[in-house]
Structure 1
């Protein structure tokens, strides 16, 4: 009898150990939670890449990425840099998330994913702390374990780096930045992270913003002048980073997202006024069939390329025209990576997991253009006083309501507002509901002129 009891006791102990081990497994060891790599370029035009119709720039690695994943053709960021970054980080339109002045109280994907067991790193352009070293609003305080990059843009032809919260030198060699950021990203993957834990790596490039530059290896080698050189170097360096995912056996469980922060600077008002460009360079990204460029509320200001790859999960070789946006990253990552979105504030993004994984073909119902208008389905509405940055203002634009059928008129040339007044009124109401639904302006600290 004693022998039976001992045997039974051992069996119960064994079952308990197995059960405890199973239930004590940390969430970050779950095999289906992907690593996330966001490659965020700056001011890259909708049609700068071969897979988006460019016949001049050679972009074999990004074209290959599109073949391996899904290429989105109605993907939206914001129309300028800082607002685009606050929207991506928070899942909230800039009317709520603050843009360049993003308050420290905003909750980012870095914070949420770190709390869910992810390692988090940001490399490159930050641009949501008013381009100043305000520690509570810098990457380490906003959820990123590791940071390297400049806090702002390179409009002066020089950038100052920070590594975490400390200054880490400066450079006026703009042609060195694409490789430098890629090297830092590779070093993070190889040397800094824990291979046993999942990671979020947010790589925000400076190129192709304003004072562009390419390294000696690429300068003068493309058919597109210096801008083409920069595009082709970016393609090469992205390929080098993707190769490291393969080398480290990370490819199959890494969700890779490539996109841009806004459309290209391609307006004569900008290029004629801006000083400091390298001699002989033409800063002119390509928007393809889209109207205008950066700073505009027409499609070329907001609609950007987006490619998503996750082998075996995101369908390969697929092209989707579903409405998808950077504000959707946060709730989508919540589903895929195992965390809950904030419930104490309005999240404008929606969970696009089913769209990404090919379980549905529809995306967002609507997308809001900052202080300008709204798209719903094929219809796009702009109010008479729609916001344009100065360099993007079209002098011959009449300040009237505009309505476009994007299915038939992607270039926004035929204003249908007079023909469909009911649709204009409907979309105007929808636009106003987005603007007023939870839109609480960030508190302004008058003493230093920045948002808390």
Structure 2
């Protein structure tokens, strides 16, 4: 009897030890996070938002299978957006100058790495020329354009697309075998994903594409694999559609790899753009011609897509009208990882994870902008906006539902009750940031 009881308990203990690690792993593994941000891509370029000029089947499918946010707003230009996105703070607190992120700042990658994530970045940097910049800001591995090196080679050819010059973990490399940078960057991230599939990973892909110069892609009829790069900054806007299609195809490539690795239920994939489409581009958007507005504070400079996919977690076809700005990404990513933001770190953003899960969450009443390309006060544009109105710190007040191009500010002596209520709310929002700088 004693032998039988002892044997029974030993067997039970053995089975429990076998089961425990697997159940613990399944329960405790944090979700993988992939954040993809296209360069110079406004909301009007995406089919699921009502754009009809370009082909974006993979992003459209993401929206069908996941969530789409109607009111997501970035800064009008790349560096201001990237600083706000990565730190969760409005530029009024920590922006220095174009092409730089203050090395005293903590980014979402720093915080996720500290929480046990393996982290990688590929694409466009432009946040400081120190050789260790990506690693300093929390990325284990990097494959970047315009880190230490400039945008052109010694002959004046742009180095970002065909046969690109990229810096891989801080070491410059000329890809001269007919490669296209979107393929090099996505292959780098896929390799990282494959090597780290058994632990939580964070991939940040600030894409180089669709920024000018507008050039042929490998899917264009006149693609030249021997091209040394564009000799001009703008290139030719006729290729913008090809670039949008290739951007979308690259997103699809990453989605397919997540599925192939069996990680679709463990991986949240977020797609957005860093600012509006470049100025020469005119697209068809919801039945009207829509001019790109990069660097402008009107809607065509700041209204960007936000599409999120997470199989078995986000209900297919989720639509949200809630206001989102780029300070909201950091707290959302930390929420996903179950990480608390350090008390000493000021975070202006509000997590939108509840909305992704079909809950009400804590929707914003307004979003705030402090925008200065070079950090100077002379060119500063500061404003707050909700879904219908916008108020600049200089006093101009617009109904942007009726006048999104901001051609005629509302006369203060002719405001109706709804106008006055909105003005008071946005004025209060602006006052929250007085005296910070």
Cα separation, 2, equivalents of 1:212 and 1:413: 30
| Residue matched to 1:273 | none
Partner of 2:121, secondary structure, is strand
Conservation of the 8 A alpha-carbon contact between 1:154 and 1:209 = no
| Residue matched to 1:176 | 180
The 5 A counterparts of 1:19-418 are 30=27, 33-98=30-95, 100-129=99-128, 132-135=129-132, 138-151=133-146, 154=151, 157-159=158-160, 160-169=165-174, 176-190=180-194, 193-219=195-221, 225-266=238-279, 283-284=280-281, 286=283, 288=285, 293-360=293-360, 363-370=363-370, 371-384=381-394, 401-413=395-407, 415-418=409-412
Cα separation, 2, equivalents of 1:348 and 1:39: 22
Conservation of the 8 A alpha-carbon contact between 2:42 and 2:292 = no
CA shift, 1:217, in A, is 2.1
| Residue matched to 2:376 | none
Partner of 1:144, secondary structure, is coil
Cα separation, 1, equivalents of 2:151 and 2:42: 18
Name the CA shift for 1:220/1:361 in 2 (closer, same or farther; >3 Å): farther
Cα separation, 2, equivalents of 1:84 and 1:109: 14
Name the CA shift for 1:417/1:165 in 2 (closer, same or farther; >3 Å): farther
1:298-341 CA distances to partner (integer Å, 9 max, x unpaired)? Answer: 11211101111111222211322210122111111222112111
Conservation of the 8 A alpha-carbon contact between 1:218 and 1:232 = no
Cα separation, 1, equivalents of 2:262 and 2:22: 27
Cα separation, 2, equivalents of 1:9 and 1:238: 53
Conservation of the 8 A alpha-carbon contact between 1:257 and 1:308 = yes
Where structure 1 has 5 or more consecutive residues not aligned to the other structure, the ranges are 267-282, 385-400, 441-452
CA shift, 1:208, in A, is 1.5
1:198-253 CA distances to partner (integer Å, 9 max, x unpaired)? Answer: 110001111111212232422569xx831111111111121122111111111122
Partner of 1:434, secondary structure, is coil
Q: Which moved more, 1:148-157 or 1:315-324?
A: 148-157
Conservation of the 8 A alpha-carbon contact between 1:219 and 1:226 = no
How many equivalent residue pairs? 394
Conservation of the 8 A alpha-carbon contact between 2:53 and 2:283 = no
Cα separation, 1, equivalents of 2:259 and 2:166: 29
Conservation of the 8 A alpha-carbon contact between 2:352 and 2:361 = no
Partner of 2:130, secondary structure, is coil
| Residue matched to 2:375 | none
| Residue matched to 2:232 | none
Name the CA shift for 1:256/1:313 in 2 (closer, same or farther; >3 Å): same
CA shift, 1:424, in A, is 3.5
TM-score, length of structure 1 as denominator length: 0.77
Cα separation, 2, equivalents of 1:427 and 1:369: 12
| Residue matched to 2:233 | none
1:122-179 CA distances to partner (integer Å, 9 max, x unpaired)? Answer: 01111221xx2353xx111111111011135847622442111222337798x82222
CA shift, 1:87, in A, is 1.1
1:342-386 CA distances to partner (integer Å, 9 max, x unpaired)? Answer: 2113101112111111112763222112232101353211233xx
Name the CA shift for 1:40/1:432 in 2 (closer, same or farther; >3 Å): same
Report the aligned-residue RMSD. Answer: 3.4
CA shift, 1:24, in A, is 12
TM-score, length of structure 2 as denominator length: 0.80
